[in-house]
């Protein structure tokens, strides 16, 4: 870890002012990912601006029936918040599928959105990496890529986004509130994270001087028919090989609305609105779910070692949609997949 | 594809050494004043500056849980926490759990159930279990196992750790 200066932000405007004044500075809140990356010399900020004491810790109801989650609400507090448990259990479930209790106590809502890939080459500064050092090359493409992306990859990068929480936020259609030197703006969740294309060093469409201040959930929480299924190499405390967030609105056995997003498969949480639309009006059965999975995975591309993830994703999508339809969501403590 | 064998790194930035930052931590109920460089982790502050070596450095990357301590009663990984960010907070370490000559319920339970072999992960396991019980979200054995998954025991004492936590919770079957 390189030496760095440390300062505290007194309010959001001060935080934005401080970061605008120092291009080599970074915000720190929970620190769970940033401190780790600094220890590995992957991140080398010369100043940390501590935003952890800013008053962005509320979960508030919005006038149109949604919820506004302050960027500094810890992941554990959010997962166990009564309104989240009751109205957005898909989000609660996804959060509890990620990390450990200690990390969830530290990690913040805004920071979860901004965590970086766990690609081993990105983490290892002895190897090239287009995300870490633009135009240095991607050793994952013909290297060890068992955990890498199968959707939306580019010749420059096949890294995945590591978050579970963000997969649920994508499925729920959240909105990200940010503040910057030019004022405040909102970014639709689907537009927040990016695909790698030729500039994989950019994970998101957040401008360098902007601060995430809140995440807003729309009114509809799909609390009746939902499931979050995470498949990984061990039963807990591991990143997803494939994860699926599914939510349905049913009338009898007919699908009125569907939400389907995947984690562990792409550079961003992968929501497929076309596959969702094709489910609407159909009977909620295995055949319809298999068609949706095939549609979502039609453009999937295997690397040398991760072809199994395409089959795994197909089965996980069908299983998760079935759990959602039957109102038997995947438990995050009893790991048997029903 | 052309692959470089080494990646050029930018030169170390010419950074003037920042004055050490004065902070106060309430460690196990006692106010401790420290002057620390901002890159000092809470774990290093406890071990190297306060001689509280009960909290262990295992992976130093938040993956093993050996460094688990309580900040304002919540369990966290001290290795990923910058000490200056916890100025004014209450820190509880394994050294602060026993009261006088009486072991904490969890310490006694770990002894009763032989819930360790080498003992290196044990302070983190016990601090983590203290946080777990305070959170009140774990009731069944499955829930305890899941919510303790941030604490790795390479000796594999997990069944006995589970039994010890159940004893302390009063839910041991």
Q: What is the dihedral of CA B132, A40, A78, A268, to 10 degrees?
A: -140
What pLDDT is stored for residue B172 in this prediction? Answer: 82
- What is the CATH T-level fold of the domain A5-52, as seen in this structure? 3.30.43
Domain annotation covers residue B15: no
What pLDDT is stored for residue A46 in this prediction? Answer: 95
For residue B2, pLDDT beyond 70: no
Give residues with Cβ within 8 angstroms of A41, minimum separation 6: A1, A2, A125, B9
Q: Establish if A24 touches chain B: CB-CB under 8 angstroms.
A: yes
Domain termination site, one of B96, B127, B155: B96
Average pLDDT for A214-220: 98
For residue A252, pLDDT beyond 80: yes
Nearest to B21 among A6, A46, A76 (CB): A6
Same-domain status, B37 and B83? yes
A225-325 homologous superfamily: CO dehydrogenase flavoprotein, C-terminal domain (3.30.390.50)
CATH, residue B118 = 1.10.150.120
What pLDDT is stored for residue B19 in this prediction? Answer: 77
Average pLDDT for A22-51: 97
In degrees, rounded to 5, the angle at the alpha carbon of residue B10 between the alpha carbons of residues B8 and B12 is 130
Domain annotation covers residue B154: yes
| Structure confidence by residue, pLDDT tens digits, A74-104 | 999 999 999 999 999 999 999 999 999 999 9
Asked if residue A241 lies in contact with residue A160, where contact means CB atoms within 8 angstroms, the answer is no
Domain annotation covers residue B2: no
Domain termination site, one of B41, B70, B96: B96
Average pLDDT for A191-212: 97
- Chain B neighbours among A 130-189 (CB < 8 Å)? 132-133, 136-139, 141-142
Range of the domain at B80: 21-96
For residue A239, pLDDT beyond 70: yes
Domain annotation covers residue B11: no
Report the distance separating Cα A249 and Cα A258, nearest Å: 6
Report the distance separating Cα A261 and Cα A170, nearest Å: 7
> Which residue's structure tokens are 């493409």?
A141
ipTM value greater than 0.95: yes
Q: How many domains does chain B have?
A: 2
Average pLDDT for A223-248: 97
Query: Left if phi > 0, otherwise alpha if psi is -120 to 50, otherwise beta: which for A51?
Result: alpha
* Interface-testing mutation among A33, A34, A80, A101, with chain B (most B C-beta atoms within 10 A): A101
Alpha-carbon gap: A32 to the closest alpha carbon of chain B (Å): 6
Same-domain status, B57 and B116? no
Domain termination site, one of B96, B125, B152: B96
For residue A180, pLDDT beyond 80: yes
For residue B5, pLDDT beyond 50: no
Same-domain status, B91 and B140? no
Beta strands in B13-151 (DSSP E): 21-27, 30-36, 68-71, 74-77, 90-92
A148-to-A158, A191, B42, B163 alpha-carbon distances in Å: 6, 21, 34, 38
Query: Left if phi > 0, otherwise alpha if psi is -120 to 50, otherwise beta: which for A189?
Result: alpha
What pLDDT is stored for residue B18 in this prediction? Answer: 61
Domains of chain A by residue range: 5-52, 225-325
Burial code (b: 16+ CB inside 10 Å, e: under 16) for A161-185 equals bbbbbbbbbbbbbbbbbbbbeeeee
Asked if residue A169 lies in contact with residue A269, where contact means CB atoms within 8 angstroms, the answer is yes
- Chain B neighbours among A 62-91 (CB < 8 Å)? 76, 80
| Structure confidence by residue, pLDDT tens digits, B142-161 | 999 999 999 999 999 999 99
For residue A122, pLDDT beyond 90: yes
A141-to-A265, A301, B26 alpha-carbon distances in Å: 15, 12, 49
Residue B14 pLDDT grade (very low, low, confident, very high; cuts 50, 70, 90): very low
User: What's this model's pTM, rounded to 2 decimal places?
Assistant: 0.96
Same-domain status, B30 and B79? yes
Nearest to A35 among B82, B148, B150 (CB): B82
CATH, residue B35 = 3.10.20.30
Asked if residue A78 lies in contact with residue A36, where contact means CB atoms within 8 angstroms, the answer is no
DSSP string computed for A107-128 = -BHHHHHHPPP--HHHH-TTS-
Phi, psi of A231 (to 5 degrees): -110, 125
Same-domain status, B135 and B153? yes
> Which residue's structure tokens are 């689907």?
A190
Nearest to B4 among A31, A80, A128 (CB): A128
């Amino acid at each position: 870890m390189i030496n760095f200066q440390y300062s505290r932000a007194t309010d959001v405007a001060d935080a934005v002012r401080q970061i605008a004044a120092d291009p080599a500075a970074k915000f720190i809140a929970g620190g769970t990912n940033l401190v780790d990356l600094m220890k590995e010399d992957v991140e080398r900020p010369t100043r940390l601006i501590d935003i952890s004491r800013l008053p962005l810790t509320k979960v508030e109801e919005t006038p149109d029936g949604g919820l506004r989650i302050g960027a500094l609400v810890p992941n554990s507090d959010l997962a166990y918040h009564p309104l989240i448990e009751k109205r957005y259990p898909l989000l609660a479930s996804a959060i509890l599928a990620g990390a450990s209790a200690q990390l969830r106590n530290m990690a913040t809502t805004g920071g979860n959105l901004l965590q970086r890939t766990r690609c081993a080459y990105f983490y290892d500064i002895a190897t090239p990496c287009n995300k870490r050092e633009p135009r240095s090359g991607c050793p994952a493409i013909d290297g060890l890529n068992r955990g890498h992306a199968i959707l939306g990859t580019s010749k420059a990068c096949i890294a995945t986004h590591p978050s579970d929480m963000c997969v649920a936020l994508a499925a729920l259609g959240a909105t990200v509130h940010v503040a910057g030197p030019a004022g405040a703006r909102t970014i639709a969740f689907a537009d927040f994270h990016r695909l790698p294309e030729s500039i994989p060093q950019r994970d998101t469409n957040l401008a360098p001087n902007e601060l995430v201040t809140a995440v807003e959930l729309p009114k509809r929480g799909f609390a009746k028919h939902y499931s979050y299924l995470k498949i990984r190499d061990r039963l807990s405390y591991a990143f997803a090989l494939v994860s699926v967030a599914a939510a349905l609105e049913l009338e009898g056995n007919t699908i009125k609305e569907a939400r389907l997003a995947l984690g562990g498969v792409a550079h961003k949480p992968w929501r497929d609105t076309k596959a969702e639309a094709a489910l609407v009006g159909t009977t909620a059965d295995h055949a319809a779910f298999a068609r949706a999975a095939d549609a979502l995975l039609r453009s999937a591309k295997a690397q040398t070692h991760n072809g199994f993830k395409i089959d795994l994703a197909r089965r996980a999508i069908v299983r998760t949609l079935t759990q959602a339809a039957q109102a038997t969501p995947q438990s995050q403590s009893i790991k048997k997949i029903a | 594809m052309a692959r470089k064998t080494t990646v050029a790194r930018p030169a170390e930035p010419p950074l003037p050494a920042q004055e050490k930052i004065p902070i106060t931590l309430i460690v196990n109920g006692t106010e401790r004043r420290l002057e620390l460089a901002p890159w000092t982790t809470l774990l290093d502050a406890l071990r190297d500056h306060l001689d509280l070596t009960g909290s262990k450095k295992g992976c130093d990357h938040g993956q093993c849980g050996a460094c688990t301590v309580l900040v304002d009663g919540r369990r966290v990984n001290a290795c990923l926490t910058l000490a200056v960010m916890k100025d004014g907070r209450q820190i509880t370490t394994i050294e602060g759990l026993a009261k006088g000559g009486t072991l904490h319920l969890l310490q006694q339970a770990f002894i009763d159930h032989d819930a360790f072999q080498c003992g290196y992960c044990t302070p983190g396991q016990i601090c983590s279990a203290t946080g777990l019980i305070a959170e009140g979200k774990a009731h069944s054995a499955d829930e305890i196992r899941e919510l303790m998954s941030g604490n790795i025991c390479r000796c594999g004492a997990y069944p006995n750790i589970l039994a010890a936590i159940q004893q302390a919770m009063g839910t041991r079957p």
